[in-house]
Amino acid sequence: MIVSKQKPFAEILAALGEAGRIFLVGCAKCATVCKAGGEEQIWQMQELLAAAGKEVTGSIVIDEACHLLRVQRDLRGKGEPVRHAEALLVLACGAGVQSVSAAVEQRTVAGLDTLFLGNIRRFGHFEQRCSLCGECLLNETAGICPVTVCPKGMLNGPCGGMDEGKCEVNAEAECVWSQIYSRLKARGEFAPLIRTTPAKDFSKMRKPGSLKLER
């Protein structure tokens, strides 16, 4: 899922600027799990905005704010409260914000900072394990991603900063190559440990991505 975090309220207020009538949009998927843009946060935001002297014309929590057509349809369905608003404040990831900005004429304000594609460790604790590189190497690396979990994205073993199996960047974390090495060795898979991984083809993750499935 996409991990996001609410911007400080002062920053949100500054971004809203002169706009007095605000319509709120949340997302029922990732932003809800992150406690950044679900029903609860929409209510809290409504109160904060009211206290700051803004009029909240209405709100909606969209099932998936990243769904361009659904957002367009749902906002149209809301009618007057949306049309009457001077700005829409979106508590969803950057993709969600852009579905909204594409669907309306008014100014669309992002209320969250979008962080990364994350795994859920436990409620409220998210970890980045994949950075969507477009050509997955996990089959060679014992199912552990060096592109993402190593801060330097080293593909051929640990950097010179690794010690006691710990990462130079974060002494609490185990170096990804220490993890990969022990797993492969335990399985008796030595080939990937000897082979040199060539320079990665980063064209596979060139922006902006687009994929149309063939029927």
Partner 1 sequence: MPTHLQTLLDAGRFVVTAEISPPKGSDCTAFLATANDLRGTIDAINVTDNQGANMRISPLAPAALLVREGIEPILQLTCRDRNRLALQSELLAAAALGISNILALSGDYISFGDHPGAKPVFDLDSVQLLEALATLNGGHDLGGATLSGVPAFFAGAAAAPEAEPFELTMNKLSRKATAGARFFQTQAVFSPERFARFAEAVRPLGVKVIAGVLLLKSAGMARYVTANIPGLKVPPELIAELEGSPDQLRQGVAIARRQIAALRPLCDGIHLMAMGKEELLPEMLAGLDR
Query: Which residues contact partner 1 (rule: CB under 8 A)?
Result: 151-165, 168-169, 177-178, 181, 193-194, 196-200, 202
To 10 degrees, what angle do helices 94-103 and 68-78 make?
50
Helices (H), the chain: 9-16, 30-33, 39-51, 68-78, 80-84, 94-103, 146-149, 176-186, 191-194
Residue 139 neighbours by CB distance under 10 Å? 8
If the CB atoms of residues 81 and 151 are measured against partner 1, the closer one turns out to be 151
152 binds ligand SF4 (CB under 6 A): yes
Residue 170 neighbours by CB distance under 10 Å? 10
148 binds ligand SF4 (CB under 6 A): yes
**Partner whose binding site includes residue 131, from ligand SF4, partner 1, none (CB under 5 to 8 Å by kind):** ligand SF4
Q: Which of the stretches 17-25, 26-34, 105-113, 175-183 binds ligand SF4 when contact is defined by CB under 6 A?
A: 175-183
Nearest to 4 by CA among 145, 183, 124, 87: 124
Q: How far is it, in rounded angstroms, from Cα 36 to Cα 21?
A: 21
If the CB atoms of residues 3 and 65 are measured against ligand SF4, the closer one turns out to be 3
> Considering the complex, what minimum distance in angstroms separates the CB of residue 160 from partner 1?
5
Burial class of 91 by CB neighbour count within 10 A (0 to 12, 13 to 18, 19+): buried
Total residues interacting with ligand SF4, rule: CB under 6 A = 24
Q: Which of the stretches 2-10, 23-31, 107-115, 163-171 binds ligand SF4 when contact is defined by CB under 6 A?
A: 163-171
Question: Which positions touch ligand SF4 (CB under 6 A)?
Answer: 130-133, 136-138, 145, 147-148, 150-152, 154, 158-159, 161-162, 167-169, 175-177
